[in-house]
Amino acid sequence: MRRLGISIYPEKDSAENIRKYLQDAKNFGASRIFSCLLSVEKSADEIKQEFLAMNRYAHTLGYEVILDVSPRVFEKLGISYSDLSFFKDIEADGIRLDQGFTGSEEALMTYNPQGLKIEINMSNDTHTVDTIMDYQPDRYQLIGCHNFYPHRYSGLTLEHFNKCTENFKKYGLSTAAFVGSRREGSFGPWPVKEGLCTLEMHRTLLLDVQVKHYIEMGSIDDIIISNCYPDAQEQAALQKLDLTVLTLNVKPVTDQPEIYRKVVYGELQMERGDVNENMIRSTMTRVKYKGENFPVFNAPEVIHRGDVCVESSEYGHYAGEVQIARTEMQNSGMTNVVGHIREEELFLVDGLKPWQKFRFVEDESCL
């Protein structure tokens, strides 16, 4: 089951503000927390007191809490990989190893009696996870999570991201990656505030569009907001998201017959298996609505990239077929344009795979 997560940094803000964020985030569906010990410079006792209070409160709201650590943190706090009781004492549910050990240690850590999940850094294209698997870990306690990158232009390329992710997915391990709020003044664990994403291509995208991209790719199980705090508009957009299937926002044309609204917004769409470079074709609607009248009501001479189209009854057995234009095309005069994909989401059209399911939702800013 895909989950939405958030990040909190107790050393960076008041407990009151963080608790309010935890409450707000439940409203937009968050159920997992990432928190960072890498930047914490307090004593072990101070850390225990601060994080225990926050983790206990998070658990009352149903969150899972994973803490980011490294061998340096282990050394500083006097923790051994063979004894993870410190993290259980502060009621964490797992730890993320920003830097790993040799593979044997990570495998042993998955058998910790405290039942903590062990999360591995996914962003390096190395054989680390293969080595860990060679040492026979408890694979149900082993999970993976990418890095985030505060410095502009330092995020992962999509090609590298996919390659690294596949290293984990081939073992059936749960995966996670980060998205970032674009709110001015948002912060993370480090002083640099140029966005906080895993993929560089996400740095300037709307927050909900970043999430949609991961949903479309299908390789990431937990999508975590890395910086604090998303603004009200971002939170509202997240609250409307369906995490189970890609949704594409459509700016509808006005005064369209109700039958067109049914086939576009009332149905689960599916790209055909025999794909082409010109359009996405969702053809089950023409089967379900066979015999319905689809009049010509908006058939411009040119169909533009991103236009959502429905074939009219003038097109014979194609009547009711739903399409998304990938390229500019001449209209036969029988194809209705019923809307246009939100410009920020147009790149998602190119990522749809054969047989992939998706839905259309009306862009409320246009209603």
Q: In which residue ranges of the chain is CATH 3.20.20.70 found?
A: 3-243
The pLDDT of residue 367 is above 60: no
Angle between helix axes 15-27 and 232-239 (nearest 10 degrees) is 30
pLDDT digits (tens, 9 = 90+) for 238-275: 999 999 999 999 999 999 999 999 999 999 999 999 99
pLDDT value at position 193? Answer: 87
Q: Per DSSP, which regions of the chain are E strands?
A: 3-8, 30-36, 64-69, 94-97, 117-121, 142-145, 176-179, 222-225, 246-252, 269-270, 279-282, 302-303, 307-311, 322-325, 329-330, 335-341, 357-362
> Out of 55-64, 185-194, 349-358, which region has the weakest mean confidence (pLDDT)?
185-194
Mean pLDDT value of segment 14-18: 96
CATH 2.40.100.10 residue window(s) in the chain: 248-366
CATH number of 3-243: 3.20.20.70
Mean pLDDT of 72-87: 88
Question: Is the backbone peptide bond immediately before 318 cis, with ω within 30 degrees of 0?
Answer: no
Q: What is the domain class of 248-366 according to CATH?
A: mainly beta
Query: pTM (2 decimals)?
Result: 0.96
Q: Which residue intervals of 98-231 are DSSP H helices?
A: 104-109, 128-134, 158-169, 207-217
Query: In this prediction, what percent of the chain has a pLDDT beyond 70?
Result: 99
Q: What is the pLDDT at residue 45? A: 87
Per residue in 186-237, pLDDT tens? Answer: 999 888 889 999 999 999 999 999 999 999 999 999 999 999 999 999 999 9
**Residues 117-167 pLDDT 10s:** 999 999 999 999 999 999 999 999 999 999 999 999 999 999 999 999 999
